[in-house]
Amino acid sequence: MSAAPLDIAVAGLGTVGAGVIKLIEANGALIARRGGRPLRVVAVAARERKKDRGVDLSKVEWYDDASRMAAEAKCDVVVELIGGADGIAHATVEAALKAGKHVVTANKALLAHRGTELARIAEDKGLTIAYEAAVAGGIPIIKAIREGLAGNRVSRVYGILNGTCNYILTRMRKSGEAFANVLADAQKLGYAEADPSFDVDGIDAAHKLAILAGVAFGTRIDFSGVHVEGIRRIGSEDIQFARELGFRIKLLGIAELTEAGLMQRVHPCMVPLETPIAHVEDVYNAVVAEGDFVGRLVCEGRGAGAGPTASAVVADIVDIAHGRRPMTFQLPAAELAAPTRLPIAARKGSYYIRLDVVDRPGVMADVTATLRDENVSLASMLQRGRAPGERVPVVLVTHETEEAGMRRALDRISKLGAVLEEPHVVRIERF
């Protein structure tokens, strides 16, 4: 092959960074044929040089400072795999763009907080920021929406965007164990970090959803407009009741564009068993996009890990080798409008409510009267056994209602003397 190699500098040599280099080494000839030129790693930046990463780095230039590498290394592409919205990751990407180098990144936090700003810099210089690996790991959802659905008006995009939460909820359903026990096992297996907050509190999924919404709807990324709830309050009882009612609980990110505005939300959902996304299990991710001409597009695959993420990174590098230069977020950065935010209080749907109450006469009359006052009607009710004067769980499923009224009702219910703790609520989504 006579074409000059595409020279690459890799910032960050964790599992994904090492995975990118391994993939290029293992499939180099195939990648060169598909990309029209060979890929060559010429520089890396990492703090620990002696660590064994399973790859030969003896012939590459080492940097201790990733931002200096981005500015100085003789390369065409800088791959940023450090992570974080600010600090060295941001400095590295900014330095690469200002030095006239394309950027490939897996950094969802950086894009969620600074994506529009960085897209302006890249476009002013005729450069690419590629980020397939930032959302849903090995699933090529950015390419599918930005390019495959370019002729469609996308009305909704949603999915399972965090493998850690999906693994925990799957394990809780299969084993009947409590959240805390399953989380501890996930940490031992490496599926959850020592500090799992970004995952289990929904922040990681919210970063990804904000990016998906920006690409799908051609708006500025609006992370601060995402309503975020995690899975800490999901109990094994809720998993069991969901099964009895014909649902499974999933942490979903949902972005919907209507004439009234853009609603972005991340929270646990009950989805009917006949819904395909209900059967996406363990660490797998799934993303669904709905377009006016294509209908429903469903993509499923591994959402994290060295192999899937490295696969997405290298796919972006191959696009750059081919000279493909799509807009970062569907439209030129200068044309991206700030979306009109539609608050979650405007959501209309049904709800699962679990109450722990003292079993005594009149309790349910007080609860149902409160719901009635806020125009919330019940579709069904479950109560397990009787224990007069003692604690019993009661499960209510509502008909479709507006979230604002539901919240007012729940606030009043939580103050009833017979209600022993804050109600457990899961929104029901019927896609």
Measured distance CA(273)–CA(278) in Å, rounded: 6
Measured distance CA(158)–CA(165) in Å, rounded: 15
C-beta of residue 19 within 8 angstroms of C-beta of residue 81: no
Measured distance CA(276)–CA(412) in Å, rounded: 36
C-beta of residue 321 within 8 angstroms of C-beta of residue 5: no
- In 3D space, the residue among 352, 331, 349, 304 whose CA is nearest the CA of residue 208 turns out to be 304
- Antiparallel, parallel or unpaired: β 378-383 and 77-80: unpaired
- Considering the candidates 208, 250, 348, 415, report the single residue annotated as catalytic: 208
Tell me the Ramachandran region of residue 240: left when phi exceeds 0, alpha when psi lies from -120 to 50, beta otherwise: alpha
Q: Is 385 exposed, middle or buried (0-12, 13-18, 19+ CB in 10 A)?
A: exposed
- Antiparallel, parallel or unpaired: β 247-258 and 284-291: unpaired
208 is catalytic: yes
Q: Which residues are catalytic?
A: 208
